[in-house]
Amino acid sequence: MIPFNKAFMTGKELHYISEAHFNAKLAGDGPFTEHCHSWLEKNSHSARVLLTNSCTAALEMAALLLEIEPGDEVIMPSYTFVSTANAFVLRGAVPVFVDIRPDTLNIDEKLIEEAITSRTKAIVPMHYAGVACEMDMIMAIAGRHGLLVVEDAAQGVMAKYKGKALGSIGDLGAYSFHETKNVISGEGGALLVNRANFIRHAEIIREKGTDRSRFFRGEVDKYTWQSAGSSFLPGELIAAFLWAQLQEADSITQRRLLAWDTYHQYLEPLEAQGLLRRPIIPAECQHNAHMYYILLPEHQDRQAVIDGLKAQQINTVFHYVPLHSSPAGQKLARVYGNMAITDSLSARLIRLPLWVGLSQAQQERLTEVLTNLLKAF
């Protein structure tokens, strides 16, 4: 059986967790959180990185930091995870969906400017599969219209755009360390604060609306309620687990890239025969092999392909039901323009198993089964 995903353990997780246990420092912002913060800051060149309970929590912090208010509009793709939209909907904002690019399945930057109204407050690009959105153009549009940019870089840890870490380019960025991502802590995430003037407020929001972080650094002699906030920080056991993973982040990425490249090579003949389309990585994007997906031709029955693979013990899955066609999306959001590419590609996409430890032999077998299936239709 080839599972779709398999969580990778470095072997050091329990060692660090037992160290945290021994230290008896279990609340957030202890030594392991500090290690993770410094590592992430060094790695991303973000001004300040703060661990959170999830990427969802980091996005909710972002919406609070941007002071999103009822009636504000936030431009984003419909082809994304629910948290991208929920974080802003929780503040009363209206997500405005624009269509995606056919090559990367990322938000089509050429459509963003037309979707801007007097109520638009922010743009939230999501880097699908760890392949960057066209950030230069998105930042230029935001600059022209005085909008803020929050990168949903949940899938983008260790990936780059023109040499810059995903999540570090917009005003704010959000990472996920969920079990299904590349670098994991079960549940977990981080907020990347890329503008120095947001740092103090971000720390306050994360610590229940208090200036406890400054108190711990000895900058104030007591801590008090400063603004609206919540408990967005993970405990030390999660940080200890994550620390083991971050130390191996480079090798995890390299090993995933190797498996990704193998698929890409094995599936080339199928693409040449018009049986599927492989992912496209623009030259300015250095991806992190978060995902390997294929796009089937329009007439192809996707469920039959997934079932056919399943019958041969190979687990594959499709991905997002576009938010604009979901029950909540229809009620809480609005669409700008048509969603032709989102509708078409989301219905034709299959994600293949990709995890550290997936063998070349397994990838060969998958390719063989897939080839037979696609040729039979």
Ligand X SMILES: *Cc1c(COP(=O)(O)O)cnc(C)c1O
- 322/206 Cα distance (integer angstroms): 30
**Residue in this structure with the two tokens 């005085």, named with its chain if needed:** 146
Residues 98, 101, 107, 108: is their CA dihedral positive or negative? Answer: negative
318, 319, 320, 316: which is closest to 352 by C-alpha? 316
Contact 323, 86 (CB under 8 A): no
**Least gap, CB of 36 to ligand X (angstroms):** 15
Helix orientation angle between 360-376 and 249-266, rounded to the nearest 10 degrees: 40
**Least gap, CB of 290 to ligand X (angstroms):** 8
**Least gap, CB of 77 to ligand X (angstroms):** 9
Instruction: Give the residue with the Cβ less far from ligand X, 51 or 309.
Output: 51
**Least gap, CB of 339 to ligand X (angstroms):** 18
Task: Please give the residue ranges that form the binding site for ligand X (CB under 6 A).
Answer: 54-56, 80-81, 83-84, 126, 152, 154-155, 176, 178, 189
**Least gap, CB of 262 to ligand X (angstroms):** 23
**Least gap, CB of 177 to ligand X (angstroms):** 7
Number of alpha carbons in the 13 Å side-chain half-sphere of residue 233: 26
In 9-132, which ranges are continuous DSSP H helix? Answer: 13-23, 31-44, 55-65, 82-89, 109-115
Neighbours of 317 (CB within 10 A): 13
State both tokens at 315.
Answer: 């687990």
46, 81, 43, 84: which is closest to 63 by C-alpha? 84
Instruction: Give the residue with the Cβ less far from ligand X, 10 or 53.
Output: 53
Instruction: Give the residue with the Cβ less far from ligand X, 129 or 296.
Output: 129
Instruction: Give the residue with the Cβ less far from ligand X, 241 or 363.
Output: 241
- 177/326 Cα distance (integer angstroms): 26
**Least gap, CB of 175 to ligand X (angstroms):** 8
